Amino acid sequence: MPWLLFSNKSIPKFEATQIPLSASKVFHCYCMGWTDSEHATIFDVDRGISRSVCLNSNFENNTIIITESHLQAITSGRNVTPVYWACDRANSIFVIGTDLPTVTAA
């Protein structure tokens, strides 16, 4: 199953799956299976100022928007491709992703 993961801190154990984000140096993106998948469309908008990830190739579904200093997750009422998140408030670290076991492992 394809998965996608974002974090505000580098995650060494996922380093092999990291992809660069042209829009942000603050956030880190990790993915497995999205490039060959029909389940997501990843594209750059606004000349690299932000990056939008539409989950499940349907703009009425969940969308994650990344800018230089902000990450915004917009979930739909249907939530076909679930979005999970975890945070460590003491260390100001968060993880958001599409696969619960992967988010938990991060």
- Tell me which of 61 and 5 has the higher pLDDT: 5
Highest mean pLDDT among 29-33, 35-39, 43-47, 95-99: 95-99
Q: How confident is the model at residue 53 (pLDDT cuts 50, 70, 90)?
A: low
Question: Three-class SS string for 40-75?
Answer: EEEEEEHHHCEEEEEECCCCCCCEEEECCCCEEEEC
Question: Rg of the Cα trace of the chain?
Answer: 13
- pLDDT score for 63: 74
> pTM for the complete prediction?
0.76
Per-domain boundaries in the chain: 3-105
* CB proximity list for 12: less than 8 A, separation 6 or greater: none
